[in-house]
Amino acid sequence: MLGVKIKWPLRPESKKIMANLYSVASCRRVLVVLLIAVLSACAGGPDQLKPADLGANPALLGVRAAWTSKIAPVDFPLQVKVVGTAVTLAGADGAVVSLDARSGAPLWRTQVGAPISAGVGSDGRFAAVVTRNNELVVLEAGQVAWRMRLTAQVFTAPLVAGERVFVMGADRSVAAFDARTGRKLWQQQRPGEALVLRQAGILMAAGNTLVAGLAGHLVGMNPLNGNVVWDAPLASPRGTNDIERLVDLVAGISRQGNEVCVRAFQTAVGCIDTLGGTVTWKRPAVGAVGLHGDESQVYGVEGDGRVFAWRSADGEPVWTSDRLRYRELSAPLVLGRSVVVGDATGLVHFLSRADGSPLTRLSTDGSAILAAPVLAAGTLVVVTRNGGVYGFQPE
């Protein structure tokens, strides 16, 4: 159509990008053609895409399987929520479940009656998800409390805080609802791009500020009325077509005190002081999943599977590991002396925080580790695409 010769196969990260795009207005054929042309430029031969052999498990870290559970397969951008010892998650079939992180025993399970597109948000009392027919469903003590029809699709888990439920739509709208009654308190709209990512973005509380990732900006808002308090630009659209302009901030943050470090899709990583909304540093980076960190370093995964560590103070690179290239990694989790990532074959890798060297790895059900691993009550919890939920405890 445009005289573009497409090279196949696409790299795994390029295929993931294609699957994760959402047209806010409508699906336009020219955008698909342009996307294929842009991403095909990064394609290589099959040998170049083949992950390296992992070799024997080094088993330098003792981790035991504590429990397993099961939900329906997950085909939406699940965000696993931890509050105290409770882990709340959901399957694509509309079932929302809260588990005891220590034993895996269900605390409650509820069916919301429709497939889910975004979730889960929870403060321990209220939990919230959004269905594919754009309905916000809020649960209290595991029972449906109320429902509200939204005007736009949602891919980011609602934020439940201060007896309010905050929702960020794919159209760059942010709205607040009373968690007890469902009454809409306010809604703010920001100009959007034609395309956004069909994956979770950033919606969080930082002190008394509501923080949202809107395009390439991290925006601080007054939770009482939605007014913008500060606006920190991490990345700017850098092209002439809608695909090249994608710089959405993706879910998965590293937070130390007032500083939050985030990733702009395929563009940059950087840290922002949430007291005044100033960018303390940023670095070019090409990745699609979020970050995690500790008091000295920030860790992230690039699109090709390289794992990076940057110095928290100024963003200087500390180490890089390419042992897991082309394994389609999850966002990382800092756990003890390790950085934990999952891959597309269901393996969970523990890498050294000091230099990225492998410490050990664990198996699940063979399907992709879908969401970033989480830590709850001393238990590492991972979820697979097939709906396997695994609790592991370091020894």
Cα separation of 321 and 311, whole Å? 15
Q: How far apart are CA 62 and CA 380, in angstroms?
A: 13
Tell me the C-alpha distance between 78 and 133, whole Å.
Answer: 17
Q: What is the pLDDT of residue 21?
A: 57
CB 251 within 8 A of CB 201: yes
- What pTM did the predictor assign? 0.89
Give the pLDDT mean for 226-238: 93
Contacts of 388 (CB under 8 A, 6+ apart): 68, 69, 70, 346, 364, 365, 367
Q: Would you tell me how many other CB atoms lie within 10 Å of the CB of residue 292?
A: 23
- Confidence (pLDDT) at 49: 82
pLDDT for 31 beyond 60: no
Segment 233-265, tens digit of pLDDT? 999 887 666 666 788 999 999 999 999 999 999
pLDDT value, residue 2:
36
- What's the chain's average pLDDT? 89
> Is residue 53 over pLDDT 80?
yes
For residues 203-209, average pLDDT: 96
* pLDDT exceeds 80 at position 68: yes
Question: Does the pLDDT of residue 99 top 60, yes or no?
Answer: yes
pLDDT tens per residue, range 32-52: 333 433 443 444 444 568 999
pLDDT in tens, 304-331: 999 999 999 999 999 999 999 999 999 9
Q: Is 234 left (phi over 0), alpha (psi -120 to 50) or beta?
A: alpha
Which of 91, 95, 105, 121 minimizes the C-alpha distance to 384? 91
Q: What is the pLDDT of residues 144-182, one digit of tens each?
A: 999 999 999 999 999 999 999 999 999 889 999 999 999
- Give the pLDDT band (50/70/90) at residue 196: confident
For position 149, what pLDDT does the model report?
97
* 119-144 residue pLDDT tens: 999 999 999 999 999 999 999 999 99
User: How sure is the predictor about 9, in pLDDT bands with cuts at 50, 70 and 90?
Assistant: very low
Mean per-residue pLDDT, 174-201: 90
